[in-house]
Homo-oligomer: A and B are copies of this chain.
Amino acid sequence: MLTIGTLAKKTGTKVQTIRYYEQIGLMPEPGRTEGGQRRYGDAELDRLSFIRHSRQLGFSLDAIRELLDLSDHPEKSCDEADAIARRQLRQVEQRMARLKALRTELKRMVHECSGGRTADCRVLEVLRDHSECLTEHDDIGA
């Protein structure tokens, strides 16, 4: 039986985060000691590892909820899990493309900085001037 702290260490999660996952129903309510402290078993360790690994791959908590549900029903078709993963892959690729454009513009800004007074600063000038900008108007999203 693991305390919440041990579980936290084993999975690289903060204690608060585990309680948060319980609160939103992503982790089940565990057993308790007489004094009311949580005690976890291997099933919970596996589940939390799954969650954390998925988070590291950028899946949203909602997506993880779906994946966990699929994982709980081995007789279901694999298609859904595959679709979720593909969606995630598309998102990652979109973000990469976006970051690439940002990097280009940032590099341009930085390399052209003369090192003088801010009055002549290329960094600020580029930020002021939208016209030679590659990025679109909407969807700032991280």
Contacts and interface: CB of A to CB of B under 8 A. Distances in A.
A117 to B, nearest CB: 6
Contacts of A78: 113-118, 120-121, 123-124
Contacts of A77: 116-118
Nearest to A78: B121
Interface residues of A, number: 62
A115 B119 CA distance: 60
Interface of A: 12, 46, 49-50, 53-58, 67, 70-71, 73-82, 84-86, 88-89, 92-93, 95-96, 99-100, 102-103, 105-107, 109-110, 113-121, 123-124, 127-128, 130, 133, 135-138, 140, 142
21 contacts: A12-B138, A50-B127, A50-B128, A56-B133, A56-B140, A57-B127, A67-B127, A71-B118, A74-B118, A75-B117, A75-B118, A78-B114, A78-B115, A81-B121, A81-B123, A82-B110, A82-B121, A85-B109, A85-B113, A86-B110, A88-B106
